[in-house]
Amino acid sequence: MARKRFERVDVRRPDLRIPFPPRFRARLTGQTALAVQRRAKYLLVPLSSGETLLMHLGMSGSFEVAREGAPLDRHDHVVFHMSAGAIVTFNDPRRFGLMTLLTRDALKTHPVLSALGPEPLSDDFDGDTLARACRGKRTPLKVALLDQRVVAGLGNIYAAEALYVARLSPERPASTIATASGAPRPSAHRLAAAIKQVLTEAVDRKAAEVYRSARFRVYDRELERCRRASCGGTVRRQTQAGRSTFFCPRCQR
Distance separating alpha carbons of residues 186 and 206, to the nearest angstrom: 30
Residue that finishes a domain, picked among 114, 142, 157: 114
Q: Does 119 fall in a domain?
A: no
Let me know whether 96 and 135 are in one domain.
no
In SS3 terms, 112-180 reads as HHHCCCCCCCCCCCCHHHHHHHHCCCCCEHHHHHCCCCCCCCCCHHHHHHHHHHHCCCCCCEHHHHECC
Q: What is the pLDDT of residue 247?
A: 98
Let me know whether 90 and 146 are in one domain.
no
Residue that finishes a domain, picked among 89, 114, 139: 114
Q: Which domain holds residue 131?
A: 127-247
Q: What is the pLDDT of residue 213?
A: 45
Residue that finishes a domain, picked among 86, 114, 142: 114
Measured CA to CA in angstroms, residue 153 lies from 9, 36, 121 at distances of 28, 17, 10
Let me know whether 100 and 206 are in one domain.
no
* Domain total of the chain: 2
Measured CA to CA in angstroms, residue 42 lies from 24, 56, 92, 148, 227 at distances of 18, 5, 15, 12, 34
Let me know whether 77 and 150 are in one domain.
no
Distance separating alpha carbons of residues 94 and 17, to the nearest angstrom: 9
Q: Is 80 helix (H, G, I), strand (E, B) or coil?
A: strand
pTM greater than 0.95: no
CATH number at residue 137: 1.10.8.50
The CA-based angle 55-123-61, given to 5 degrees, is 20
Kindly give the confidence (pLDDT) of every residue in the chain, 253 residues in length, as a single tens digit, with 9 standing for 90 and above. Answer: 888 999 999 999 999 999 999 999 999 999 999 999 999 999 999 999 999 999 999 989 999 998 878 899 999 999 999 998 899 999 999 999 999 999 999 998 998 898 899 999 999 999 999 999 999 999 999 999 999 999 999 999 999 999 999 999 999 999 999 999 999 999 999 999 999 999 999 888 765 454 544 689 999 999 999 999 999 999 999 999 999 999 999 999 9
Strand order in the sheet with 86-91: 6-11, 76-82, 86-91, 62-67
